[in-house]
Structure 1
Amino acid sequence: MTFPVVGMVGGGQLARMTHEAGIPLGIRFRLLSDTPQDSAAQVVSDVVVGDYRDLDTLRTFARGCDVITFDHEHVPTAHLRALEAEGIPVRPGPDALEHAQDKGVMRARLDAIGVPCPRHRIVADPADVVAFAAEGSGFPVVLKTVRGGYDGKGVWVVDGADEAAEPFRAGVPVLAEEKVDFARELAANVVRSPHGQAVAYPVVESVQVNGVCDTVIAPAPGLDPDLAAAAQELALKVAAELGVVGHLAVELFETRDGRILVNELAMRPHNSGHWTMDGAVTSQFANHVRAVLDLPLGDPRPRPPWTVMANVLGGDYPDMYTAYLHCMARDPQLKIHMYGKDVKPGRKVGHVNTYGDDLADVRERAAHAAGYLRGTIQE
């Protein structure tokens, strides 16, 4: 067979869904997974179990692949540079990926290319946090470890010096940011190929609960068309300036005075793009596969007027399968995507997508299905 082999580092749900998108194209996948039980390892036939932090493991894994991509951003940058030096295509490459791995590097580069961000700087200790607060509007201040955080982990909102010690115990630099008084959170998802073709999905609203994405509404309701276009243009600019290949999610704050500020970057398929599996002509996963293989990109336009994604989090109701009967009978258009994970409280174990012409109805259906699967809704 002449069809290429895509090597996916990381065995989580993003790898699982990316593999699913490659099946109709005849693309073969090879997976480097932490354990045989990981989400993607359950469905990919060619699985290598090993530690992505070990260079020899990465080298051995990559020898059977035509291109390497990721479902997380934690592979050491030096290892990726070594693979590239040995002629192995890595997409996104280490020069780009470093901006998603290190928040300090990201902020410095975004400043340099004129991208609007919250006020920020690296701080040395709790006393420096107090100084940072005094330079602006005071407390509260957001503190982030520059590496390793996700889904609210590695992020603290502090109201004074007595609360600022915890982030420094991680032993990595700490970034201080102003706490933005935002109206809502948005996300601009784009995909870029090696030869520079790029597509932009509609800007979405992302609703967070306890630091974790709960619901995504596509497109963001009531968003000024000019601001939506500006957000798409900003994301495309970031992708081009940083040399991103593959999917880029730009998480944004919409401020109360009508501006957008960049919060975070993710260089992989992203939770804010899961709606595209059922709501767009070409999903984020299919376009990520196309991009890393340098194939022409697919149409990112939405199919229905509204699509809503709701994450299914684990609760005290472990047997979600028994809930399918009710959910599917109540809403025959409902799309359920489960990740094959053991159910643990607060853990993302799946998501649901609903779509239609009436936003209120679409939102209610998504919230009901996610709640019923979790066990927080009983009827």
Structure 2
Amino acid sequence: MDSRTGLPIVGMVGGGQLARMTHQAAIALGQSLRVLAAHPDDGAALVAADVRIGEHTDLAALRTFAKGCDVVTFDHEHVPEAHIRALAADGVKVFPSADALVFAQDKRRMRERLSELGAPVPRWQPIASPADLAAFGERAGWPLVLKASRGGYDGRGVWVVDSPEAAAEVLASGTELIAEELVPLRRELAVQVARSPFGQVAAYPVVETVQRDGINVEVLAPAPLLPEDLAVEAQKLAIDLATALDVVGLLAVELFETSGGLVVNELAMRPHNSGHWTIEGARTSQFEQHLRAVLDYPLGDTALAAPVVVSANVLGGPAGGMSIDERMHHLFAEDPGARVHLYGKQTRPGRKIGHVTVLGDDLASLRARAARAAWWLREGTHE
């Protein structure tokens, strides 16, 4: 407890944009957010008052960081499971727990558990050799998706292959792999739910996520033309998974919509890129909701703040041209309603450096506005 405010201290391991935006939400709640950042110039370290520098792989640093925190949570899934268990054994309140987080850290264990629960998942198999891959390809059909069991994100650690020969380099790397059928999808969806230690749950509207080169570039809320029964099914699936896996905090369930129904793609147990729109677009942002959940506060209203919300990621563009400050000037002069969030990151091509959100009632015009704003911030020019 922070003696200055009489309110809890929340520790967040990781100093990236998720911690940065959680800090913004903590300010309004009066919370003191302590951040464990790897570097002083990490996005959250640039803005938070209580920053400790250390690596998430260093148990001693984690233990020192956790002292005085009422609860510890994460802005990524990469803290070693053994370290999380050690903190819990020390008496630190950690959410999500190691028992839950492992299903977001390890794709093989996630697929095993979801299969046990009867959740809709692609056909899949652990892969240890070219023979394993060849046998699975014969059953599931080519091409297949190979995934690293641990560590992949934004298209990294994922390979689409059409033969064992095409996967030879990956198979020889020693990476623990699973193979999945290449799902014939209509589009990608995502649904977020929050769950508290008390067991209260709250689901956000289902959104459509648009990917390019494995990176989420656009989120449409609510998912356009999604039948109500399918939206309810997606929300119920996410709630059931949060409960079965004993998740505390936010759970993001990435889904494929197929001709045969919904298929679970990935899980994340933290604020998620598919929920950045909630800062302006929902009554309670995902970042505030995560804080409420891990502190066991009653959860907030998840209703939309406008009929349609579109969020577009801002990716780093080529070097040179006008400064980002100049680009902001021009963007706001043209579209004063665009809401910009920059993450304090050094720009490099293809890197997520921020996002833009717009609200209204016409999907087509909002998508055009968001895309134009993101392009301007990336390139310094109109498309």
TM-score range, shorter chain: over 0.9
Give 2:183's aligned residue.
Answer: 180
The residue correspondences of 1:42-57 to structure 2 (distance < 5 A) are 42-57=46-61
Q: 2-side partners of 1:261 and 1:376: how far apart?
A: 39
Residue 168 (structure 1) shift: 2.9
Q: 2-side partners of 1:171 and 1:57: how far apart?
A: 29
Q: 2-side partners of 1:218 and 1:258: how far apart?
A: 23
Residue 299 (structure 1) shift: 0.2
- Within the alignment, does 1:374 sit opposite 2:378 as a pair? yes
Residue 118 (structure 1) shift: 0.5
The answer (yes or no) to whether the contact 2:327–2:380 under 8 Å persists in 1 is no
Give 1:270's aligned residue.
Answer: 272
Q: 2-side partners of 1:368 and 1:377: how far apart?
A: 9
Q: 2-side partners of 1:304 and 1:63: how far apart?
A: 41
Give 1:291's aligned residue.
Answer: 293
Q: Over the residues paired in the alignment, what is the CA RMSD in angstroms?
A: 1.1
Give 1:221's aligned residue.
Answer: 224
Q: CA 1:197–1:170 in 2, change beyond 3 Å: closer, same or farther?
A: farther
Aligned partner (choices 148, 153, 163) of residue 151 of structure 2: 148
The residue type equivalent to 1:322 in the other structure is E
Give the secondary structure class of the aligned counterpart of 2:45.
Answer: helix
Residue 376 (structure 1) shift: 6.7
Give 1:75's aligned residue.
Answer: 79
- Within the alignment, does 1:248 sit opposite 2:251 as a pair? yes
Q: 2-side partners of 1:269 and 1:167: how far apart?
A: 30
The residue correspondences of 1:173-212 to structure 2 (distance < 5 A) are 173-212=176-215
The answer (yes or no) to whether the contact 1:123–1:176 under 8 Å persists in 2 is yes
Give the secondary structure class of the aligned counterpart of 2:86.
Answer: helix
Residue 280 (structure 1) shift: 0.3
Aligned partner (choices 313, 332, 335) of residue 336 of structure 2: 332
Give 2:352's aligned residue.
Answer: 348
- Within the alignment, does 1:66 sit opposite 2:70 as a pair? yes
Unaligned ranges ≥5, structure 1: none
Aligned partner (choices 333, 351, 358) of residue 362 of structure 2: 358
Give 2:93's aligned residue.
Answer: 89
State percent identity of aligned pairs. Answer: 58
Residue 317 (structure 1) shift: 4.7
Residue 161 (structure 1) shift: 1.2
Give 1:163's aligned residue.
Answer: 166
Q: 2-side partners of 1:170 and 1:201: how far apart?
A: 40
Residue 258 (structure 1) shift: 4.4
Q: 2-side partners of 1:268 and 1:170: how far apart?
A: 30
Q: 2-side partners of 1:378 and 1:212: how far apart?
A: 22
TM value normalised by structure 2 = 0.97
Segment of structure 1 superposing worse, 280-289 or 45-54: 45-54
Residue 244 (structure 1) shift: 0.3
The answer (yes or no) to whether the contact 2:309–2:359 under 8 Å persists in 1 is yes
The answer (yes or no) to whether the contact 2:314–2:355 under 8 Å persists in 1 is yes
Residue 220 (structure 1) shift: 0.3
Q: 1-side partners of 2:343 and 2:108: how far apart?
A: 32
Q: 2-side partners of 1:15 and 1:203: how far apart?
A: 23
TM value normalised by structure 1 = 0.98
- Within the alignment, does 1:311 sit opposite 2:313 as a pair? yes
Alignment deviations for residues 257-301 of structure 1 (CA, whole Å, 9 cap, x no partner): 140000000000000000000100000000000001110100001
Q: 2-side partners of 1:297 and 1:378: how far apart?
A: 41
Give 1:17's aligned residue.
Answer: 21
Residue 165 (structure 1) shift: 2.1
The answer (yes or no) to whether the contact 1:317–1:375 under 8 Å persists in 2 is no
- Within the alignment, does 1:233 sit opposite 2:227 as a pair? no
The residue type equivalent to 2:265 in the other structure is N
